[in-house]
Structure 1
């Protein structure tokens, strides 16, 4: 590892001064209203929406974890990046329903479509899920990056970054988050592109890279009998997780809800999908380059999660190294800022405001700020436990999401596509989902103490992708069966919130909210996705 020099530190300082300037400008413009604090006044254009979707998704857990997957024979994990085309479904299918309902949060949408019970369950479930996946993983990845780059110990790096991000998120709210994320997205893409280009030069070009790692290493498709990544389960579960994450998760959908209207929101999701094609080349390939250089004895690292920062510190010249370091820190901060704001929105709007409906706007904003601080502390406490679940960070993230996503995906898909699903079906499916996900995580952590021939060991040891696929099927059947055991929902309850009940006026509005350009770019994105899937077949 080469440490950062004076020129690098000047670059990092300049970047943080610009970031601080944006945050101060945003804070000076803010109003003490919940719509402004949680949804940036619903007045954001498509470019900022798309950049914010990309930046809040691409945190350092992606940069560190995806490069780690590339450096550790976990290439099938790439499908989770490729499946980001699903953000198009958010813009084309889900967003018009969310916009028609006028909601702030996804649990609030479930209350409008089903009842208050589903809202309560999803609010609590989402906050717990953020601690298990987003907050702890992002803080951990940030600790790895900061300690590797700045030469300080892991915990100091992790906590310093959390505090810094927390300050501007708490003070500026969603407006501060989306505008700082736009800068961070641009910087991160530029920095990673330069690293990929220089890294390929260092390894002697693409052909030399393939020769070192062997062509079969770049095969993301494993046989259906593969113990780790059977391809049918990989495709099914990554799609389920993709719909949950891109179309129903507060963390991402909140960005689309900040848009001026459905047209800007949809274009933002299309732009986000275009941006999301980049990580395949900008973060995974540097991991493969780092592995090739290690195999040649030109680079040394202990854990695959260190591949990206080690490659960066050794390949990039002075100054540029500082800029990419700033980009990595930016990725960490943008993800943290997004999740902090989403948690405070969920807690304040879906829990606190429900319990105390007469609370003034100013106090609601303050409550959101306090909620953020509490969740950060819990996330830090969870990190040591998280380290036991999986060796590679990105795989940990996807395995936990494979247990959380199926019940939520089932309820939202059925809720929008099938008007017969009622409040009882949605509520009991979510409750069952939480119980099963919790049991699976506990069994996975304790399976070494269980009888290898017993049912519980089988449930804890089952491949996480296969588990996710079967679990989703169970959730769908369960929701339908329970719904048919209770009366159908009232027509007024489902009006304009399911496909079979949209009024002609609303259909016309939706039709006027897109053009042939939106359709054309969406088709191009899908064509590139298919191309990437064909390219990474190890031949």
Structure 2
């Protein structure tokens, strides 16, 4: 192993941790709000950086670059269309969350429907984190770190054993970091890591084009744009793995859910000191998404030219980093990947503790007539986090055997948990008399039918189109139930804001600019742009 790589990796990682420890040394975290929401004190820099970096996990580095390497740039649609979704969240959902003083996103469901619906959705969230989010983050980070440091070759062990070892180390470090630091420590680290990510992404593109062009950046750009143009197209055709039309169906639904209802993402915005900072932070995360292809997609395009026949396409990103960068910068990128994985892992663990403690354990204690002591709640949440970490460390290495590839695993599994929750949230927001039983029927119907379409029979439709059809079907069922058996009293949104809910006055100017740049990215990577003949 090159020790220059190791030293630079350790330096960046330790600096990020030291800044976090210094900035949070006087923070009080003895209550659930203090620990899980950072005392509602986050500014827009922390919110935007944390939301962006939480999304930019090792899963994205490995999965999207692998997709570009094997298919084309159509995978970019997930990130670019999320800009529209985030702006919708900033304008409509965040004011609602902050107005009711929400600690978790299912808090709205407790007020709109009933506590049982809130508990059901909390369990769905927790299952999603147990089965999909936390294990896949550990696996993706292990693949990237092994590809950069070649741990299996260095220690003389099998690839599977090296993945298991790295998963163990990352899981233990992440769990300790989360339990000792809480949300504020995570977000401060994310600000430092976010700057490192932008620097690392720029370095990969710079050195990647130089390597591809035999020392000439311009020749590298020409090579990328003149050959294998089929990989440059972000406008997926009907027969592609990700058709362009899916942006307007299931992809949009999943993105709005992800950025506006997924607890581990929204938690940073819920911890804002006011609505203005929350909206500015989300806009900052949108800016990050515009630069994300530097790390998530361009390396995959370069790898197409350098490695025409990789045996394991998931190694495209780490192998490229290992081959093109000087040792010091390899360590920087490895630290960024490690930091991105820790950010997502910690956010998932933090949200797991929040959901379990506030929506399941605390109500259970209250029903039993026992006092919900804040220290007891924190202790129980931390114990659950340890248990989840142990289970994820054991399970995550086996993701490599999933049929269909890592990225496919992520998208297929997450769909089971996202759209049903999104549907009942939307219906709850837009109607006043749809009863709680409608939400429960909708969840059961969605999960049952979607499972059947993915495992029992083939509809002939892309799974994102299936999700959109089920969204409308479940919406219709819930409205029908509301018509047949409406609530006696119309729902009125309570006002229990813990922070100021005055919106960001100049937000629309920035929203328009962000949307124009989003469209520009699609044009750039299309037949009208560099993918044209």
Structures share fold, TM-score greater than 0.5: yes
CA RMSD in angstroms, aligned pairs only:
2.2
C-alpha change, 1:35 and 1:73, in structure 2 (3 Å) is same
Q: Distance in 2 between the 1:462 and 1:374 partners?
A: 39
Aligned-residue offset at 1:348: 0.8
| Alignment partner of 1:14 out of 11, 14, 17 | 11
Contact 1:64 1:306 in 2 (8 A): yes
3-state SS of 1:457 partner = coil
C-alpha change, 1:216 and 1:118, in structure 2 (3 Å) is same
Aligned-residue offset at 1:475: 1.8
C-alpha change, 1:435 and 1:388, in structure 2 (3 Å) is farther
Residue of structure 2 in register with 1:39 after alignment: 37
Aligned-residue offset at 1:80: 0.8
Q: Distance in 2 between the 1:431 and 1:457 partners?
A: 19
Residue of structure 2 in register with 1:207 after alignment: 222
| Alignment partner of 1:423 out of 436, 450, 459 | 436
Contact 2:43 2:281 in 1 (8 A): yes
Q: Distance in 2 between the 1:377 and 1:470 partners?
A: 38
TM-score normalized by the length of structure 1 = 0.88
- Match status 1:521 vs 2:510: yes
Aligned-residue offset at 1:126: 0.4
Q: Distance in 2 between the 1:48 and 1:293 partners?
A: 37
3-state SS of 1:483 partner = helix
Query: For structure 1, which segment, 395-404 or 324-333, has the greater mean C-alpha deviation from structure 2 after superposition?
Result: 395-404
Question: Alpha-carbon deviations, 1:373-409, whole Å to 9, x = none?
Answer: 1222333344366445443322321222333322111
Question: Alpha-carbon deviations, 1:115-165, whole Å to 9, x = none?
Answer: 112101100000111123211211110110122222221110111111111
Question: Alpha-carbon deviations, 1:77-109, whole Å to 9, x = none?
Answer: 221111221111121110010011111101122
C-alpha change, 1:112 and 1:45, in structure 2 (3 Å) is same
Contact 1:237 1:402 in 2 (8 A): no
Contact 1:69 1:392 in 2 (8 A): no
- Match status 1:223 vs 2:237: yes
C-alpha change, 1:489 and 1:536, in structure 2 (3 Å) is farther
Aligned-residue offset at 1:74: 4.5
Q: Distance in 2 between the 1:371 and 1:265 partners?
A: 29
- Match status 1:237 vs 2:250: yes
Residue of structure 2 in register with 1:101 after alignment: 100
Question: Alpha-carbon deviations, 1:392-441, whole Å to 9, x = none?
Answer: 32232122233332211111122222323332222221233344455556
Q: Distance in 2 between the 1:305 and 1:158 partners?
A: 17
C-alpha change, 1:127 and 1:160, in structure 2 (3 Å) is same
- Match status 1:391 vs 2:404: yes
- Match status 1:146 vs 2:145: yes
Q: Distance in 2 between the 1:310 and 1:263 partners?
A: 42
Q: Show structure 1 runs of 5+ residues with no match.
A: 444-455
- Match status 1:327 vs 2:341: no
Contact 1:121 1:430 in 2 (8 A): no
Residue of structure 2 in register with 1:451 after alignment: none
Q: Distance in 2 between the 1:189 and 1:391 partners?
A: 31
C-alpha change, 1:526 and 1:403, in structure 2 (3 Å) is same
Aligned length: 504
| Alignment partner of 1:173 out of 182, 186, 193 | 182
Contact 2:55 2:265 in 1 (8 A): yes
C-alpha change, 1:223 and 1:318, in structure 2 (3 Å) is closer
Contact 1:241 1:401 in 2 (8 A): no
TM-score normalized by the length of structure 2 = 0.89
C-alpha change, 1:223 and 1:71, in structure 2 (3 Å) is closer
C-alpha change, 1:228 and 1:31, in structure 2 (3 Å) is closer
Greater than 4 Å deviation, 4+ residue runs: 437-441
Q: Distance in 2 between the 1:230 and 1:301 partners?
A: 25
Q: Distance in 2 between the 1:222 and 1:49 partners?
A: 32
Query: For structure 1, which segment, 154-163 or 480-489, has the greater mean C-alpha deviation from structure 2 after superposition?
Result: 480-489
Contact 1:404 1:437 in 2 (8 A): no
Aligned-residue offset at 1:167: 0.4
Residue of structure 1 in register with 2:288 after alignment: 275
Contact 1:241 1:406 in 2 (8 A): yes
Aligned-residue offset at 1:462: 5.2
Aligned-residue offset at 1:28: 5.2
Q: Distance in 1 between the 2:402 and 2:465 partners?
A: 17
Q: Distance in 1 between the 2:508 and 2:494 partners?
A: 23
Matches within 5 A, 1:407-446: 407-439=420-452, 443=455
Contact 1:67 1:286 in 2 (8 A): yes
Aligned-residue offset at 1:250: 0.5
Residue of structure 2 in register with 1:361 after alignment: 374
Contact 1:403 1:440 in 2 (8 A): no
Q: Show structure 2 runs of 5+ residues with no match.
A: 152-161, 214-219
Matches within 5 A, 1:255-266: 255-266=268-279
Q: Distance in 1 between the 2:484 and 2:44 partners?
A: 44
- Match status 1:532 vs 2:521: yes
Contact 2:130 2:392 in 1 (8 A): yes
Residue of structure 2 in register with 1:485 after alignment: 484
Q: Distance in 1 between the 2:96 and 2:378 partners?
A: 26
Matches within 5 A, 1:486-505: 486-488=485-487, 490-491=489-490, 493-495=491-493
3-state SS of 1:30 partner = coil
3-state SS of 1:276 partner = helix
Q: Distance in 2 between the 1:425 and 1:223 partners?
A: 37
C-alpha change, 1:346 and 1:17, in structure 2 (3 Å) is same
| Alignment partner of 2:360 out of 348, 351, 365 | 351
Contact 1:77 1:395 in 2 (8 A): no
